[in-house]
Amino acid sequence: APTFVRTSTEIGDVAPPHCTASGKAILAWLPESTALQSLGGRRLRTYTAKTITARPALLHHLRDVRAVGYAVDDEEYVTDVRCVAAPIFNHAGAVIASVGVSGLATRIGGERLPQLAAMVLDPAARISRALGNRAGEGLGRETAPQAKRAQRPMARSQRRGV
């Protein structure tokens, strides 16, 4: 029997930043203290078996996001949905938004992540430039080997901080 996946967003909806690509693309470029403060003092809610709920594990993951320049939601918010997002920076180099794409996890496999990353990095960079950001100011991309390492799926124990 076919399985259907449905997601919807209404005007005014606020998705949790700790488990969405768009949220993590923003959190990764905030100072760690600001990122933690924006999450509030409460426990990070679990949405799927892949949701990162331990703050130390999330901070480690956000460092990896910053290293590659984009964030991935690997079924962390909605099962069977994978998302890729890149940050948008203002004239001062501060992250102010993100742009992302989403799709079925079965169609957005690990081998397609570099292609999808390019699809969000390019418009994010163009929007940033249109906002007065100088070429790459605010971006923290590192080398390709580090990028590959950063996008490996986390073990369940790492996500939970065990």
Is 128 a domain residue?
A: yes
How many independent structural domains does the chain possess? 1
Query: DSSP states of 17-83 as a string?
Result: GGGSHHHHHHHTTS-HHHHHHHT-SSPPPP-STT----HHHHHHHHHHHHHHTSEEEESSSSTTEEE
Residue 129 or 134, more confident: 129
Percentage of the chain exceeding pLDDT 70: 80
Residue 29 lies in a domain: yes
Least trusted range by pLDDT, from 2-11, 94-103, 126-135: 2-11
Taking every pair of C-alpha atoms in the chain, what is the biggest distance, in angstroms? 52
Q: Round to whole Å and give the CA distance between 101 and 84.
A: 6
9 vs 39 pLDDT, higher one:
39
Residue 144 above 50 pLDDT?
no
Q: How does pLDDT run across 11-47, given as a tens digit for each residue? A: 888 889 999 999 999 999 999 999 999 998 878 999 9
Q: What is the average pLDDT value for the chain, to the nearest integer?
A: 84
CA distances from residue 66 to 6, 7, 147, 159, 160 in whole angstroms, order as listed: 30, 27, 10, 18, 21
Which pLDDT does position 108 carry in this prediction? Answer: 86
Q: What is the pLDDT of residue 128?
A: 96
Separation of alpha carbons 113 and 105, rounded Å: 11
Give 82-112 pLDDT, tens digit per residue: 999 999 999 999 999 999 999 999 888 888 8
CATH number at residue 28: 3.30.450.40
Does a structural domain hold residue 143?
A: no
- For residue 96, the Cα-to-chain-centroid distance in whole angstroms is 14
Q: Does residue 146 lie in a domain region?
A: no
| pTM, to two decimals | 0.81
In a domain, 148, yes or no: no
In a domain, 151, yes or no: no
Domain that holds residue 107: 17-134
